[in-house]
Amino acid sequence: QLGHGRTDLAEVAAQQASELAYFPLWSYAHPTAIKLAAKVASYAPGDLNKVFFTTGGGEAVESAWKLAKNYFKLVGKPMKHKVISRAIAYHGTTQGALSITGLPGLKQQFEPLVPSTFRVPNTNIYRAPIHADDPEAFGRWAADQIEVAILNEGPDTVAAVFLEPVQNAGGCFPPPPGYFERVREICDEYDVLLVSDEVICAFGRLGYMFGAERFGYQPDIITCAKGLTSGYAPLGAMIASDKLFAPFAEGEETFLHGYTFGGHPVATAVALRNLEIFEEEKVLENVRENEDVFRSTLEKLLDLPIVGDVRGAGYFYGIELVKNKETKETFNEEESERLLRGFLSKALYDAGLYCRADDRGDPVIQLSPPL
């Protein structure tokens, strides 16, 4: 997020390591974790005031699913344990997070995974099976598929829906207008938790601290990592609402979960300084001021016969490559491999442009530059 070679972040890490190199968050806390939790909670929307530290994004997703199941058991709805996520969405590599992931190619060699996860369509309007010319109608249709999945499984068995503000895998799918508003309505109607997986979208990537803020919806849980330290130290977090913390606030109930290096002193010190720099250097404002220029510059590539679509938000864009622009015909697996790995990836790197060539869906080039 803040670019490479920031000596100010490296110095904070060194200073913290010399003062307190390690301390677990099991029975006691330490100053940088306490301060960072307060700061992160202050940015989070609504009543998301409880911060649980992990060392990365997959662990944050894992933590969110465990909390969802634990919460419903404690409030007398023990059957609510299933999760709904979107096709082609990536949520992590641990057994639970991989089960929530919607990419069959990443999962098959590790199956059977954790059961009880189900997929719904994503918001790729470029390849919409219905309402491709009406973003609002398409968004309504895509959101309504979540209700269909909940009803198919039985509302008393579904615990959570995991969605990214802008879906990463497949190449940056933004939400159509009204999409998240409808998803929130559905979750409220069936008492299902809305988890905003912001491992990629949080901390300025979309011009706001959290993508939920950008698109105006209130999640029950946010999962995040990456930009929290600008990648200078491994740290992630699950941010939960006061409602979800309530069963653990009194009596003898404990959320029996944690990671040895979750909320590590060096990582939390780096994160604190990282977020201070965001404010000092007006990083969010910079993204919002320049995103239109970024978008319009990338849209010039639509003149190329190989570029089918340019999509995204903030400083997070995908360029979808096609064989035929008129028909939107895509490349087959062999062609995609030759195009992306055999040529483009190296050519871009040699030109000094470090981005992602990805074909977990249709072939795309993804850009997420420093903010």
Report, as an integer, the average pLDDT of 224-239.
Answer: 98
Which pLDDT value is given to residue 361? 83
356 vs 242, residue with greater confidence: 242
Instruction: Report residue 236 as tokens.
Output: 């992630």
Distances, alpha carbon 52 to alpha carbons 133, 229, 318, 343, in Å: 42, 15, 31, 42
Q: What is the mean pLDDT of the chain?
A: 97
Separation CA 129–CA 98 (nearest Å): 26
pLDDT in tens, 94-118: 999 999 999 999 999 999 999 999 9
The string over 17-48, giving b where at least 16 C-beta atoms fall within 10 Å of a residue's C-beta and e elsewhere, is eeeeeeebbeeeebebbeebbebbbebbbeeb
pLDDT in tens, 32-51: 999 999 999 999 999 999 99
Q: Is the pLDDT of residue 88 over 90?
A: yes
Strand partners, 301: none
Q: Is the pLDDT of residue 359 over 90?
A: no
Which pLDDT value is given to residue 18? 98
Question: Which domains does the chain show, CATH number per domain?
Answer: 7-280 (3.40.640.10), 290-367 (3.90.1150.10)
pLDDT category at 325 given cuts 50, 70, 90 is: very high
pLDDT category at 228 given cuts 50, 70, 90 is: very high
pTM: 0.97
pLDDT in tens, 5-14: 999 999 999 9
Instruction: Report residue 60 as tokens.
Output: 């944050």
Separation CA 313–CA 327 (nearest Å): 25
pLDDT category at 250 given cuts 50, 70, 90 is: confident
* Radius of gyration from C-alpha coordinates of the chain: 21
Residue type, 192: V
Q: Is the pLDDT of residue 16 over 90?
A: yes
* Across 154-168, 204-218, 332-346, least confident range: 332-346
Q: Is the pLDDT of residue 27 over 90?
A: no
Separation CA 238–CA 288 (nearest Å): 26
Report, as an integer, the average pLDDT of 53-77.
Answer: 98
Contact 64, 160 (CB under 8 A): yes
Please choose, from the candidates 135, 136, 162, 160, the residue with its C-alpha nearest in 3D space to the C-alpha of residue 150: 160
Which pLDDT value is given to residue 334? 93
Beta strands 82-86 and 48-54, pairing class: unpaired
Which pLDDT value is given to residue 321? 97
Contact 308, 299 (CB under 8 A): no
Contact 95, 113 (CB under 8 A): yes
Residues 6+ apart with CB under 8 A from 262: 25, 52, 53, 54, 55, 59
Q: Is the pLDDT of residue 276 over 90?
A: yes
Which pLDDT value is given to residue 227? 97
* Across 23-27, 199-203, 309-313, least confident range: 23-27
Which pLDDT value is given to residue 360? 85
DSSP letters for 145-161:
HHHHHHHHH-GGGEEEE
The DSSP code for 240 is E
Please choose, from the candidates 177, 186, 176, 191, the residue with its C-alpha nearest in 3D space to the C-alpha of residue 72: 191
Which pLDDT value is given to residue 26? 87
Beta strands 364-367 and 158-163, pairing class: unpaired
* Across 214-218, 257-261, 296-300, 357-361, least confident range: 357-361
Separation CA 13–CA 22 (nearest Å): 12
pLDDT category at 315 given cuts 50, 70, 90 is: very high
Which pLDDT value is given to residue 145? 98
Separation CA 296–CA 281 (nearest Å): 24
Distances, alpha carbon 118 to alpha carbons 8, 82, 94, 212, in Å: 44, 8, 17, 22
Instruction: Report residue 300 as tokens.
Output: 């010039």
Instruction: Report residue 256 as tokens.
Output: 């029996």
Which pLDDT value is given to residue 158? 98
